[in-house]
Structure 1
Amino acid sequence: MSYLAPVITVGGEGGLPFSFIGAETGALLKKLDVWVGPNQVRCITLQMSDGAQKTYGTVKKSGDKMVSFTFENGDYFSSLTLWPNNAGDHLGAIKFETTKGRISKACMTSGEPTRSPTPVDVGSGMCFGVQGRSGSEIDALGFMFIKVSYLYSPLVAKLRISVISLKNHNSPQEWIRNVLVFLNILIIFTLHDWARLNHLAGRIRPAGRIFDTSDLEEKNTDKR
C-alpha cells in the first residue's frame, strides 16, 4: 500500500493475526475502547467513521478498567506510544495525543510496564486501521496511518492511471473500484480539516502548497 506509513506492532507472537482496515471506504478511526487487566491489555473495540466496528480479545474480568476515546471531527493522532507487558508476550499499554491536545492512556492496572516503550511514527495522523494478534487477549497491536507524503502526491494523477487501465482493457469493475477508493480518500481529506493539511504541508513543502498541478506537469515532462 503506497499510502501506508510503516506499521510498528508491539507485543508477543501468540494468538492469531487480525487486521481491520477502512482504507477502501475512506473510513478513519473514530472510537477506541480498551479494556486492561493487571498484566496486559485484554480487549479492544474499534469503530470507524463509516460505522464499521470490530472487537478483538474476549476476556473481561472483574476489576478490569475500560478506557474509551472518541475522535472529534478534524482531530488526528499527533503522537502514539505502545508498550509490551512485563513478560513481553502481550500488549501492556497504549498512550496517544491528538492534534487538539487531547491525551488518552490505557495501561495495565498494576502500573506502567517495565519494558521500554515504543514510539510510533503516526505519519499524517490519520489512522485508517489496525493490525495485530489476539486470542482471548491482545497479544500484539499496531496502528495503520496514511503517510504524510501520500497527502501531497497528486490524486488526479492516480485517477488518470485508473482511466488508462480501463483503456488497456482492464475490467470495468476493477476500474470503478479504483476510482471509488481514490474518491473516498479525496473526500475524507477535503471534509475533515483543511487547516490540518496546511499544518502538515509546512513539514514537507513550502507554506501555501498542498496540491500543486505543477507536480503533474513536471512528471509529465520527465516522462517525455
Structure 2
Amino acid sequence: MSIIYTPVQIIGSSSGGTVFNYDAAQSGGVLRRIGVWAGEWQLRGIRVWFTHTTSSQTFGTANVGSYKEFEFTDGERISRLSLWGNGAGTRSGGIRFFTTRDRQFFHHMTSWPLKQEYAIEVASGLCVGLRGRAGADIDALGLTFLLPISHARLTNVRYPTLQLEAASIHPVNIHEFYDENLSYSLPKEWTNTGSYTKTESASWSLTTGIEYHATVGVSAGIPKIAEVSGEFGWQVGVSGTYETTWEESETYGWSRGAVIPPRTWLSFIVTTRRGNLSVPYEGTMEIVLSTGTRFSYALKGQYAGVAYTRVETRTEEGSVDAASREGSTNILRSNVVGTKRSYGSIDSNIEVVTSRRRSTDHAAPHRLLLQHNGADDGNIADMNELHLDPN
C-alpha cells in the first residue's frame, strides 16, 4: 500500500486495552470536532467527529470525568501537537494542539502532573484518523496526519438526474424592433443594430473534507442545452478541464436593414433560450500528495450552471389592412359611444388606419390606429390608438 500518512507516534501503554485504528482518509474525511474526558491520572475517553459523516466515534469511557471539546472551522488545521503519557507508562495522560487560526486545545489528567512531552509531526496539519489502545480508559493515543497535498482533481463526473431538468430551460426575448409603413405608394427603409452578451457558468461544490484544503481542478463535461426533434433538454458536452468555478462570456451583435413595402408592418426579433441548472453530481476525487503518491475517494456534491442556445434572429411582416377590415366591425361599433362622448359629436366618423396583431402572440390585443374626423368641417380632429381585446 502506498504511504499517504506521516509515521504515527503512539504515546502511552503498549499492552493495555484493545487496539483501535480509525481511518477517515479513504472517505475524504478530516477531523472536525474532538471531545476529551480526563480522570485523575489518565484520559478516560475521546469522542471524535470527521467531515465525511455525521456519526461520531468514541474510544474509552465517555461522560466520566472532566470534559473539554474543540471544533475546527472550515479550512482550519493543526499546526502543532503534543501528547503525554501518565508518567507511569500505563495510560495516556494529555493532549494539546495549536491551530492555523491561532487557537489551542489543552486537556489532561486532573491530579497527576504532566511529565514527558512528545512533540508530534503534523505534516499537512490534516488529522485523518486516530490510533491507539483503549478499554475503560485511553491506554495509548496517536493521531494520523496526511502527508502534504500537491493538488487534487475531480474526475468521472456524472449528473444522475440531468434528464429530468427540461423545465429549467426557458425562451428569452432579447430584443424586438417594430416599424410600419402607412404609405399607400412609397417604400420605407428600416435599420436596427444592437448586441447581447450571454454569460455561461458552471460550478461544482466541494465538501469541507480533504479536497477543501487542496487546489482542485475538474475534468468533466458541462451540461449544455440540446434540441432534439423540436424539444429542448440537457446533454453533457465534451469533457474539458476547468476550475471548480468556471465562467465564459460571448457577445452577439447584429445589424439588419431592408425596405418595408407600402401598407406593411414589420417586426425584427432576437431570441435565445436560457437554462438555469442545479442538480446533484457524483464523481471521484483524486488527491495527489507532494511525494507523487495518489489516492482517491467517491464524492457527491451539487452542480450549478447557466447555459444558452445560440442567438437567433427572425423577421415577420404583414399587411396593416388585413386584420382590421374583417371581423372588427362589431368591436369598432361598440366603441363609437365612447368616441362620441369624447368628441361630443354623434356624427363623428372613425376610420381604421392600421390594425395589427403579431403572429407570434395570438393572445395579444389588436393595435388599432384610429383617425377621427370632425362632423362639421370634415377635417381630421385627432388620431387615437386603441388596444382591443381579441376575446
Q: 2:367 aligns to what?
A: none
Deviations 1:93-128 (A, max 9, x none): 0000001010000111115422x1110000100111
**Could you tell me how far apart the structure 1 residues matched to 2:210 and 2:12 are?**
32
* 1:133–1:139 Cα contact (<8 Å) kept: yes
Size of the aligned set, in residue pairs, is 166
Q: 1:58 aligns to what?
A: 61
Q: 1:39 aligns to what?
A: 41
The question of 1:20 aligning with 2:22 is answered yes
CA displacement at 1:192 relative to structure 2: 3.9
The structure with more strand, counted as a fraction of residues: 2
* 2:21–2:131 Cα contact (<8 Å) kept: yes
Alignment of 1:86-101 (within 5 A): 86-101=87-102
Give the unaligned 5+ runs of structure 2: 156-205, 216-287, 293-391
Give the unaligned 5+ runs of structure 1: 160-184, 195-210, 216-224
Question: Match for 1:135: what amino acid?
Answer: G
Alignment partner of 1:191 out of 212, 218, 225: 212
**Could you tell me how far apart the structure 2 residues matched to 1:187 and 1:70 are?**
13
* 1:5–1:144 Cα contact (<8 Å) kept: yes
SS at match of 2:114: coil
**Could you tell me how far apart the structure 1 residues matched to 2:104 and 2:17 are?**
29
Q: 1:125 aligns to what?
A: 125
**Could you tell me how far apart the structure 2 residues matched to 1:155 and 1:192 are?**
9
TM-score, normalised via structure 2 length: 0.39
Larger radius of gyration: 2
**Could you tell me how far apart the structure 2 residues matched to 1:48 and 1:109 are?**
27
**Could you tell me how far apart the structure 2 residues matched to 1:121 and 1:68 are?**
22
* 2:47–2:62 Cα contact (<8 Å) kept: no
RMSD: 2.8
Alignment of 1:1-224 (within 5 A): 1-13=2-14, 14-50=16-52, 51-58=54-61, 60-61=63-64, 64-114=65-115, 116-148=116-148, 151-152=149-150, 188-192=209-213
CA displacement at 1:17 relative to structure 2: 0.2
Question: Match for 2:119: what amino acid?
Answer: P
TM-score, normalised via structure 1 length: 0.67
CA displacement at 1:52 relative to structure 2: 3.1
The verdict on how the C-alpha distance between 1:191 and 1:112 changes in structure 2, with shifts beyond 3 A counting, is same
If asked which structure has higher relative contact order (CA below 8 Å, sep 6+), I would say 1
**Could you tell me how far apart the structure 2 residues matched to 1:10 and 1:124 are?**
21
The structure with more helix, counted as a fraction of residues: 1
Once superposed, which parts of structure 1, at least 4 consecutive aligned residues long, lie more than 3 Å away?
Answer: 185-190
Identity of aligned residues (%): 32
CA displacement at 1:19 relative to structure 2: 1.2
**Could you tell me how far apart the structure 2 residues matched to 1:139 and 1:107 are?**
13
